[in-house]
Amino acid sequence: MAGFTTRPVIMGTHGVIAAGHYVAAAIGMRVLEQGGNAIDAGVAAGFALNLTKPQSTGIGGEAPILIYRADEGPGPQIAAINGQGSAPRRATIDWFREARVDVIPGDGFLPITIPAAFGAWVTALLYYGTRGLKETLGPVVETARAGVAVYPALQAGIARNAERFREEWPSSAEIYLEATAACLRSAV
């Protein structure tokens, strides 16, 4: 038995899904309960995290995947899908030197990589999943249409970056910061 933990100990006889947000875990579990396999459920939960934790993850991010298939099937039994973004072709050391960039910043457009999460998830579905992309994304799309509650960590993430959005991406700020403010007002 596990010792003290701040997270619940979860066990199951059909499968278990763990994710950084309970809605993402529930979506993954729903996919399992509807007959999907672990890859289908993991991909659905990954997409759901983009919806439920936008302050921490995004479809333009990375999703390295390790797979062990217990049964027979196409492809290797053990696989690694490198869901980490690569640098754009022109982002060379020479380019950064010519642009007089001594230290590549931690965020913004200069350190950006080619998005890899989507490709990694689709590759996992293609070779190891039992469902197509549309079927896998179904519960995520339904959840997006119904809306996800703005919780304290999401609200804090939005507030922390609000001024930067206003300065660097004013048209996005106008849409998203106003929508978030309206949601927060209606929740009070």
Give which of 110, 118, 103, 109 is closest to 65, Cα–Cα: 118
For 46-60, what is the mean pLDDT? 90
pTM, two decimals, is 0.82
For 36-57, what is the mean pLDDT? 94
Report whether pLDDT(131) > 70: yes
Between 175 and 125, where is the model more confident?
A: 125
Output the CA–CA distances (angstroms, integers) from residue 61 to 57, 75, 83, in the order listed. 7, 25, 9
Between 94 and 178, where is the model more confident?
A: 94
pLDDT cut 90: percent of the chain above it? 49
